[in-house]
Amino acid sequence: MKHYESTLAQVAESVFSATDLQTAQIRFIEHVSNTRVKDKEKMISAVKELRSLTAVHRYTANALLKFEGMGVGKKVD
């Protein structure tokens, strides 16, 4: 059985290992720009505006939760 990992899960690992804001932004932008992620231009624009490493980490985590359908308010069966 093949294990599927989302594009955002892959970028999250790279972004979370970044030790400074600029590196995190570059990793996020480069990875997402080479994918077919829905709303990637909006995501790239948002990440460019962030002003702290923590903010990039938070944005990445929230995007991953939304993409994976695990956001707040989802009904769990």
What does the pLDDT look like over 23-37, one tens digit per residue? 999 999 999 999 888
Q: Is residue 1 one of the residues assigned to a domain?
A: no
Residue 52 located in a structural domain: yes
Is 76 part of a structural domain of the chain?
A: no
The whole-number pLDDT of residue 77 equals 46
How high is the pLDDT of residue 9?
85
pLDDT, mean of residues 2-23: 84
| Helix residue ranges per DSSP H, 1-77 | 7-16, 21-33, 40-49, 53-67
Is position 2 within any domain?
A: no
Tell me the torsion sign for CA atoms 17, 62, 6, 34. Answer: negative
- Rounded Cα–Cα distance for residues 69 and 17 (Å): 24
Q: Residue 74: inside a domain, yes or no?
A: no
Has residue 24 been placed in a domain? yes
What residues make up the domain containing 62?
7-67
Query: What is the C-alpha separation between 33 and 59, in angstroms, rounded?
Result: 16
